[in-house]
Amino acid sequence: MKTRNTELSNQSNTTHKRLYYLDWLRVLAFGLLFLFHSWRPFDHFPWHIKNEEQTLVFDILTMFTHGWRMFLIFLVSGAGTWLAMRARKEAFMKDRIKRLLVPFLFGIFLIIPPQRFYEWIMFGGFEGDYLIFLSAYPIEQLGANMGISVLLWFGHLGTHIWYLPFLFVMTLLSLPLLNAIRKGKLRFDWLKRIASTGPGIFILIIPMIVFRIALKPVFTEYTDWADFFVYLWPFLYGFIFMADQDFLIIVKKRMWLFLNAGILSSSIFMYMGSLGEEYIQAYMSPVFNWLHVGTSIVAMFIAFSWIMFFLALFARSMNFNHKLLVPANISILPIYVLHQTLIIVFGYYIVSTELSPGLKFLAIAFTAIPVSILLYKLIQTNNLTRFLFGLKPGQSSTKPSGNKESLTGKTDAVQEP
């Protein structure tokens, strides 16, 4: 009976509250992703297409945001998973398959190939048309050597939509733990006592640091098992914070501490990056040494501090509704699937113009954004395309009932893609 009462008490924390700040936070996380990919042709790091001229400004933007952007997405995804599990119960995993795996499989067949086409032209010297490319593309893709890691296939086949199957595997493997938390079988009173004392909240960084130090030199590729287990923790924290809102109270009280820690750790990381290739390599493809330990500690402080700062900021200041909030949240998944392909297709032609890098970035962003919105409007008019992009059949983003239901996990608005 005590366990049941705990579960009901925890659920009541989020059932009757209007958690608009989660919707706003999700819009921020995926909106930043759109801009991040729009400026990637103009930094000095490898990407699908590159401008002839790269600039330090975009290097700094990439280095700063890359340290926490995906961590924020997984934090929001953990919170959305709590709401979705509570609303769907037995149908939860069936819903995850429809929402995560169907768009991924559709994407790798129809949405991703144009990205590789322009990548082949720019870096591989490919001179054939798109039909010739399609005849060679499947053999090239399936002939790659990803070793024993199934996770690397997600990024190889799906480029930017690796997140969808990544999150599905993460949810599946952690499901027993998530169910135990949801049913009140796991208590975190001891953790709350530590977190509520001074900077004690930073105890939550420890597993992130440990897993990165232990696994990154073994699984050096991006989105391999090292990144999986590092991203797992913000996902779990998002889930736990919804299950026990006392953590959210602690986080809100530490907002300025998180901001200061984020600025300090990001500044240290930028300085380390300016010292030379050795430090960048220690972050990207490390070996077991003290430099790896140091960069891992700094990197995890960056990730944790910034996502906690934004969570605190939005929980304190952004818990209000707006007429655009529900449609913006519902459109995130299809726009997320579409956006990078549009950026690459338009960007390939825009980078060949005589504009400055800054103007080219704006041209890419303000071309791809309205086109992605237009395509989303077309997608939502047909139940087949809605299914392929992970949307429910016949659901209108303009229905007034979506406003209320989005706060309790009953619509797409608060779910992770």
> For the segment 356-373, what is each residue's pLDDT rounded down to a tens digit?
999 999 999 999 999 999
- Tell me which DSSP letter residue 395 carries: -
Q: Whole-angstrom Cα distance, residue 378 to residue 380?
A: 6
Q: For residues 45-84, b (16+ Cβ closer than 10 Å) or e, as one string?
A: eebbbbbeeebeebbebbbbbbbbbbbbbbbbbbbbbbbb
Q: Which range marks the domain in which residue 122 is found?
A: 2-414
Specify the pLDDT at position 226: 96
> For the segment 327-364, what is each residue's pLDDT rounded down to a tens digit?
999 999 999 999 999 999 999 999 999 999 999 999 99
Q: Whole-angstrom Cα distance, residue 266 to residue 65?
A: 10
Number of Cβ atoms within 10 Å of the Cβ of 382: 11
Q: Whole-angstrom Cα distance, residue 97 to residue 201?
A: 34
Structure tokens at 27: 């819009």
Q: Whole-angstrom Cα distance, residue 118 to residue 347?
A: 10
Exposed/middle/buried for 354, CB within 10 Å: 0-12, 13-18, 19+?
A: exposed
What is the domain count for the chain?
1
Closest CA to 269 of 284, 259, 279: 279
Give the residue-averaged pLDDT of 18-28. 92
Q: Whole-angstrom Cα distance, residue 101 to residue 158?
A: 11
Phi and psi for 324 in degrees, rounded to 5?
A: -90, -10
> For the segment 122-154, what is each residue's pLDDT rounded down to a tens digit?
999 999 999 999 999 999 999 988 877 889 999
Structure tokens at 86: 């509570």
Specify the pLDDT at position 11: 45
At position 356, the amino acid (one-letter code) is S
Q: Whole-angstrom Cα distance, residue 34 to residue 115?
A: 15
Structure tokens at 137: 């593309």
> For the segment 89-114, what is each residue's pLDDT rounded down to a tens digit?
778 999 999 999 999 999 999 999 99
Length of the chain: 417
Give the residue-averaged pLDDT of 38-46. 96
Closest CA to 316 of 256, 262, 261: 256
Q: Residues 6 or more apart from 146 whose CB is under 8 A from it?
A: 152, 153, 156
Place of tokens 């300090």: 264
Specify the pLDDT at position 274: 86
Q: Residues 6 or more apart from 239 whose CB is under 8 A from it?
A: 78, 79, 81, 82, 178, 181
